Amino acid sequence: MMLKKAIFPLVIVFSVTGIIVSYLYYQQQISSIAEDATTLSTTDQSEITTEEEVINESDLEDVYSSGWLGAYFDSEPSGDQHLVFVGSNAFESTESDLTWPSIVMDETLEAIAPTEMGYDVLTFSEETITSSLIDDAASAIIAAEPTLLIVESFSLNDNQYYLPFTEEESVENLATFLTHMENELPDIEIIVVPSNPFPNALHYLERKQVLDEQADSLPGEYVDHWQEWPTGAELETVIQNLRPNDEGQQIWADAFLEFFIDS
């Protein structure tokens, strides 16, 4: 009887001790699981952020390594960029308000987003490169404050509003105009494009050939888009009254974009 009385309190003590030890062990396990979960969550988030940064940097590298514009951005990574197109009414479709410069800029701005670039299109309908183009165009160009200048050769106007000067003189006058722009805007980058082709051209083809041959003497980069135009009867479907229609504007834009952003 006395032995039973002695054992009973011991059983109670052992039971309580077991409960306490089990509770402490359980709490320790919960704490360990929570700590592991926190560590895993932090690691995962870090990996996600790193992957996103790598993707974003890769996207930017793709943008800034594309075409002429990509190389330009690599050499001029800072500062606002403003592009000005200068040309004749060949820039304007014979069918609508569509212009090849607007097509180019829509594609370019989408390609370089989130980078921004303003632009203007300045057209001079009847000026030839031998007329008062410097007086008429220079002040408007300077006021636009471009960092990039894309200039049509005005060969079409030279041919259409013919004056007694040679093809060589036409190129020399274009060089004089471009040199004037370089002097007025020392940091400018210039790209020159020939006027559009048109069907059944004779003397105009000679003028274009001389421009091609002497393009290296011009300030800036010369981008010949003629090889992308159709020939023969098909050319007649994209040209109206010597100027490009909507389809012709798209052809001109696509050819330039291939050079400009490697589109």
Segment 23-64, tens digit of pLDDT: 444 445 444 434 443 333 333 333 333 333 443 444 444 545
What pLDDT is attached to residue 78?
63
b vs e for 69-102, b when ≥16 Cβ sit within 10 Å of the residue's Cβ?
bbebbeeeeeeebebbbbbbebbbbbeeebbbbb
- Select from 73, 51, 33, 94 the least CA-distant residue to 244: 94
What pLDDT is attached to residue 98?
96
- Select from 161, 190, 164, 159 the least CA-distant residue to 175: 190
pLDDT tens figures, 179-207: 999 999 999 999 999 999 999 998 899 99
Q: Angle at the Cα of 180 (from 160 to 158), degrees rounded to 5?
A: 5
What pLDDT is attached to residue 79?
72
Peptide bond connecting 114 to the previous residue in cis, omega within 30 degrees of 0: yes
Which parts of the chain sit beneath pLDDT 70? 1-65, 77-78, 130-132, 162-165, 263
- Select from 197, 199, 219 the least CA-distant residue to 208: 197
What pLDDT is attached to residue 157?
83
CB-based contact 83:117 (threshold 8 Å): yes
Q: Residue 128 corresponds to which tokens in the numbers above?
A: 């030839």
| Count of CA atoms in the C-beta half-sphere (13 A) of 135 | 5
What pLDDT is attached to residue 125?
83
Q: Which domains does the chain have, with CATH numbers?
A: 82-260 (3.40.50.1110)
